[in-house]
Every structure is written in structure tokens, then in C-alpha cells.
Amino acid sequence: MFPVTEIVYEYVKADVDKSSGRKKARSGKGFSPVMVGQKWMLEQLSQIVTTHKLEGWKTSILRKQLGLDFTM
């Protein structure tokens, strides 16, 4: 019904090292299934239309500016 001309995606960064204090992290030796899945998804979407990645902190600021910051 509506033509999609571009997609903006909130990029998930998984912490796979111990720098953030996560005790079960594997010091960069592991990988995140979420990051693997999002990489595949972004590759698929970019074949259809222009895609742009935004870091989570940027979308957080945008939600607050738009009055969409719902704290549960």
C-alpha cells in the first residue's frame, strides 16, 4: 500500500567480553546469536531498499524528543 523507500534499524551491540563486568562472557571468544541474526537480516533488507543503522543510545534520545519514552 505504501512504498518503502528506506529502513532505519536500531542496531544491537552484544557484549561478548568481560569489559562490562559480565561474569559469563567469554572474553571475545564467543558470539551473539542476536548479532548474527541482525547481520543476516540487514543484508536481506539492504537488497530490497536502502538501510541505515542507528545505535541504541541515538534511538533513545529520539524517543525522548518525540515524547515516546515509556518507562515501565
pLDDT in tens, 14-34: 666 555 555 555 555 556 777
> CA triplet 34, 35, 36: central angle to 5 degrees?
90
For residue 63, give every residue at least 6 positions away whose Cβ sits within 8 Å of its Cβ, in sequence order, or none: 69
Give residue limits of the domains in the chain: 6-65
Paired residues of 54 in beta bridges: 10
Q: What pLDDT digit, counting tens, does each position of 3-17 carry?
A: 999 999 888 776 665
* pLDDT for the residue numbered 39: 87
Residues whose CB is less than 8 angstroms from the CB of residue 50 and which lie 6 or more positions away in sequence, other chains included = 5, 6, 7
Region 40-48: mean pLDDT is: 92
Q: Does 60 score more than 90 pLDDT? A: no
Output the pTM of the full model.
Answer: 0.56
